[in-house]
Structures are given as structure tokens and as C-alpha cells.
Structure 1
Amino acid sequence: MTPQVSAATNAVDAARERLALRMFRNWSCPDYDQILRLTRMLADGLDDAPAAGSKLAESMAQEGASPTGTDARSDRRTMKVIYDSHIQT
């Protein structure tokens, strides 16, 4: 990594930290811990395809959604199917 790239990366990291500190400054520790836990669950689940034969997998197949979609329309369709599936259960 060049010194210029390193400096740019450091500047972006510092800006993210300042933004996060402002956003979360009034949050309680339990609320902050919960958002971290839920964000981790979301990130971990992004790589997972639904179990074959599951209600979610069937709904996604019917809607043409893909757990590994690469375009924004596919991502929105996938999130809608996941949301609808969750609401119906």
C-alpha cells in the first residue's frame, strides 16, 4: 500500500469513527451491544443460502430472488421475500 493510499484509508477510518461516536453517543450500553449483535447476525447471514425445501427457499424461488444476487434489484427482491416470510411466521 502506498503512503497516499494509507493516508486516505486512515482518513476514512477516522471519519467513520467520528460519525459513529456522534450517532451512538446517547445509546445505552445494552442498546449498543444489541446493535452489534444484530449487525453481526446480519453479516453472518449474508453468506448463507436458505435451507433447501424451507419456506424461505421456496418463496425466494417463486419470486426469482437469489441469496447471492449481484444487482440492486435482486437484493431488494431478496430482502422483500425474507421480510415477507418473517412477517408471515
Structure 2
Amino acid sequence: MDRVVTLRRRGHLTIFDSTHNTNVYGYNLFTFMVRNEFGTWIPGTHALVELENSDILSKALRARNGLSIGMRYFLTDDSAVEQLAVKMAFPGLIAG
């Protein structure tokens, strides 16, 4: 519950990335990290997905935003899948 409280207060800036082959089935674990009040990056939520594609990841982002988090800024690596997922989940951010 502490992480949800931190997400609601500090979730506007989010870093996320995946860890590949996290279990015997080869699933990917996406970790969404936010900074707490002390400036430390902490894992806020996770998504364990079978396939790394933008459709699944955008659904995970929308579900995470259902926690009343005002997500606005995302930091990703050069993953086209992650960048497309952000655009799909939050089309209004690109439009301003």
C-alpha cells in the first residue's frame, strides 16, 4: 500500500524497462519506477507479460493509471515497443 501512496504523489515521472526471460516460460517483467520523497528510485508497480508488444504494454500502462496517478513524463530506453505503448496509452500527452 505504501507504493500506491507514493505512486499517487510522485508517479508523474516514470522510468520503465523490461527484464527478459524472468521465468521458465520466458516472460518479460516490466518494472515501473518512480522517485520517492528522498529522491530514490523505487519500483512502483510491475507487469509480467508473455509477449513484449505495444498493445499489451499500453494496457498495463492504462491499468496503472487507473490508480489515479497523474503520469505525464516517461523515460524509456531505445525500445520502439515501449515508446509506441506510451503513445497508444496516452495519446493526449503527445498532443499537449
User: Do they superpose with TM above 0.5?
Assistant: no
Q: TM-score, normalised by structure 1?
A: 0.25
TM-score (normalised: structure 2): 0.24
Structure ID, larger Rg: 1
Larger RCO (CA within 8 A; separation ≥ 6): 2
